[in-house]
Chains A and B, each alone.
Chain A
Amino acid sequence: MLSTVKCMVMRDLTLAMRHRSDVLTTVFFFIIVVSLFPLGVGPDAALLKEMAAGVVWVAALLASMLSLTRLFADDYNDGTLEQLMMVPQPLSLIVLGKVLAHWIISGLPLVLMSPLLGLQFGLEGDELIMLMVTLLIGTPVLSLLGAIGAALTLGLRGGGVLVSLLVLPLYIPVLIFGAGAVTASAAGMGADGHLSLMGAILLLALVLAPWASAAALRISVE
């Protein structure tokens, strides 16, 4: 079981390493979106500090979604996806491996970049750590839920726009708890409640999303 997941993760990481520019595109998109906000609302330090968590989180949602369309599309186009559906392993494990690789490529870099962006918005100390922690728990959920949308829209015209329509509403709880935790800790309240709820969402997504994506893939590949 673990070896299946590991095999898929290694495969997708190898592929990503041979296409390194794709990884960088996602990170730079994230940085650009975050940097646009001060330009839009003005450089008022107090206002920016208050908005910081929300802005970074919304940008993370958009960045992670942007890279979703390619999650299954390449494998679908060259026929490896249908071959993967016929190996004697549960398809949900294969999906889990692919999602994990997607997170390492497009979610983890966002987590690592977030303290820098937080600094730009005047966050400090504990708030920066909290921002990183929430993104660390939250971005895997984004990849997991996003996989369902990517699988459903596989091979459709305008799939990229459609996937955002399907997936963004599902991202709302993660956004609320993620940004809420940072705000709460900045206000001196505990963020334990937020974090444990996010953990619960992560567990639920980990159990249900690969299964749902596998079902969606079977529908789409037909």
Chain B
Amino acid sequence: MFNLFKYSSPASFYPLAGRLAVGFGIASVILLVIGLYMSFFVAPTDYKQGEGYRIMFIHVPAAWMSMWIYVVMACFAAAGMIWNTRLSSMMASSLAPTGAMFTFVALWTGALWGKPMWGAWWVWDARLTSELILLFLYVGFMALESAIDDPRRAARASGLLALVGVINVPIIYYSVQWWNTLHQGSSIKVVDGGIEASMSEIMLWTLLVMTFACWFYAVAVSLSRVRSTILERESDAVWVKALLKERKA
């Protein structure tokens, strides 16, 4: 069995993270190529929305990933706080930029999709609004982390913030839903419901492939980010010095 505790030390995790990052990176590229091909050439034209709906294949995975990464981030933060392991906190903070990026992509593609569908770049739809608030949460996390000079305090403070955030996310989500149904404009609801009902099997497969491509990309990128964090934070450690000497030689 895979020994988790062996890899909770930065020194032994560093080379493993390198191998995993490459593996996930390659897998992500392959899936992305397949997924994009399916999105553009295999998936049929939607009978109601024409070709424009194809942006869904990037919008929906990005939205899913943005939420999923926040949850994973909070889990790492919780682990870091409970067991006082530095690696978990490093993982949490290296996930944040990727999560924020996916949130931004989801908002951006949402706007691009919204223009032909709703006739406006932005509507205060419950999902888009929640996504926007999620972006605020990511930005707050990263801002707090970068405002604190002491890396230990930065990791622990931002970890706590992630936990507070993750408790609040469902409350925020439901309150936005509630708000939206009260102030609902009639044109909004049709689109999402319409596409889910009319989604063909091939569309679903394409969506799945694209989601995994995004997921593996997130894993690869955050692992390589955590590698540089490890080097930075452990720059005094003997193994890092040995590694650098080896590289120079």
- Whether the pair B156, A219 counts as a contact (CB closer than 8 A) is yes
Q: Complex: how many Å from CA A156 to CA B178?
A: 36
Q: Complex: how many Å from CA A220 to CA B44?
A: 56
B115-134: contact bitstring with A at CB < 8 Å (1 yes, 0 no)? 00000000000000000010
- Whether the pair B178, A152 counts as a contact (CB closer than 8 A) is no
Asked, given contacts A173-B172, A173-B175, A216-B157, whether A166 binds B148 with beta carbons under 8 Å apart, the answer is: no
With an 8 A cutoff between CB atoms, is B208 at the interface?
no
Determine the chain B residues whose CB is within 8 A of the CB of A170 once the complex forms.
Answer: 164-165, 168, 172
Determine the chain B residues whose CB is within 8 A of the CB of A204 once the complex forms.
Answer: 171
Select B137's contact among A153, A169, A177, beta carbons within 8 Å.
A169
Chain A interface residue bracket vs B: 20 to 34
Determine the chain A residues whose CB is within 8 A of the CB of B171 once the complex forms.
Answer: 173, 201, 204
With an 8 A cutoff between CB atoms, is B37 at the interface?
no
With an 8 A cutoff between CB atoms, is B1 at the interface?
no
Q: Complex: how many Å from CA A208 to CA B147?
A: 25
Tell me the dominant secondary structure on chain B's binding face. Answer: helix
Q: Complex: how many Å from CA A100 to CA B182?
A: 33
- Whether the pair B176, A172 counts as a contact (CB closer than 8 A) is yes
Residues on B lying within 8 angstroms of A by beta carbon are 133, 136-137, 139-140, 143-144, 147-148, 153, 156-157, 160-161, 163-165, 167-168, 171-172, 175-176, 178-179, 182
- The smallest C-beta distance from B125 to any residue of chain A, in angstroms, reads 15
Q: Complex: how many Å from CA A93 to CA B148?
A: 27
- List A residues 173-222 near B (Cβ within 8 Å): 173, 176-177, 180, 183-184, 197, 201, 204, 208, 212, 215-216, 219-220, 222
With an 8 A cutoff between CB atoms, is A158 at the interface?
yes
Interchain pairs with CB closer than 8 A, number = 73
With an 8 A cutoff between CB atoms, is A148 at the interface?
yes
- The smallest C-beta distance from A65 to any residue of chain B, in angstroms, reads 13
Determine the chain A residues whose CB is within 8 A of the CB of B143 once the complex forms.
Answer: 162, 165-166
Select A158's contact among B136, B140, B147, B176, beta carbons within 8 Å.
B147
Q: Complex: how many Å from CA A215 to CA B164?
A: 11
- The 3 A-B residue pairs whose C-beta atoms are closest, nearest first, are A173-B175, A169-B136, A166-B140
Residues on A lying within 8 angstroms of B by beta carbon are 148, 152-153, 156-159, 162, 165-166, 168-170, 172-173, 176-177, 180, 183-184, 197, 201, 204, 208, 212, 215-216, 219-220, 222
- The smallest C-beta distance from B48 to any residue of chain A, in angstroms, reads 32
Q: Complex: how many Å from CA A222 to CA B153?
A: 8
Q: Complex: how many Å from CA A222 to CA B148?
A: 12
- The smallest C-beta distance from B50 to any residue of chain A, in angstroms, reads 35
- The smallest C-beta distance from B153 to any residue of chain A, in angstroms, reads 6
Select B144's contact among A157, A166, A173, A222, beta carbons within 8 Å.
A166
- The smallest C-beta distance from A99 to any residue of chain B, in angstroms, reads 15
Q: Complex: how many Å from CA A214 to CA B137?
A: 21
Determine the chain B residues whose CB is within 8 A of the CB of A172 once the complex forms.
Answer: 133, 172, 175-176
- Whether the pair B140, A165 counts as a contact (CB closer than 8 A) is yes
- Whether the pair B182, A153 counts as a contact (CB closer than 8 A) is no
- The smallest C-beta distance from A210 to any residue of chain B, in angstroms, reads 12
Determine the chain B residues whose CB is within 8 A of the CB of A165 once the complex forms.
Answer: 136, 139-140, 143
Q: Would you give 27 A-B contacts (Cβ < 8 Å), ordered by A?
A: A153-B144, A156-B148, A157-B147, A158-B147, A162-B143, A162-B144, A162-B147, A165-B140, A169-B136, A169-B165, A172-B172, A173-B168, A173-B171, A176-B175, A176-B176, A176-B178, A177-B178, A183-B182, A184-B182, A197-B175, A201-B171, A212-B163, A215-B160, A216-B157, A219-B153, A219-B157, A222-B153
Q: Complex: how many Å from CA A165 to CA B158?
A: 13
Interface centre among A173, A201, A216 (most CB of B within 10 A): A173
Determine the chain A residues whose CB is within 8 A of the CB of B182 once the complex forms.
Answer: 180, 183-184
Determine the chain B residues whose CB is within 8 A of the CB of A148 once the complex forms.
Answer: 161, 164
Determine the chain A residues whose CB is within 8 A of the CB of B167 once the complex forms.
Answer: 208
Determine the chain B residues whose CB is within 8 A of the CB of A176 once the complex forms.
Answer: 175-176, 178-179
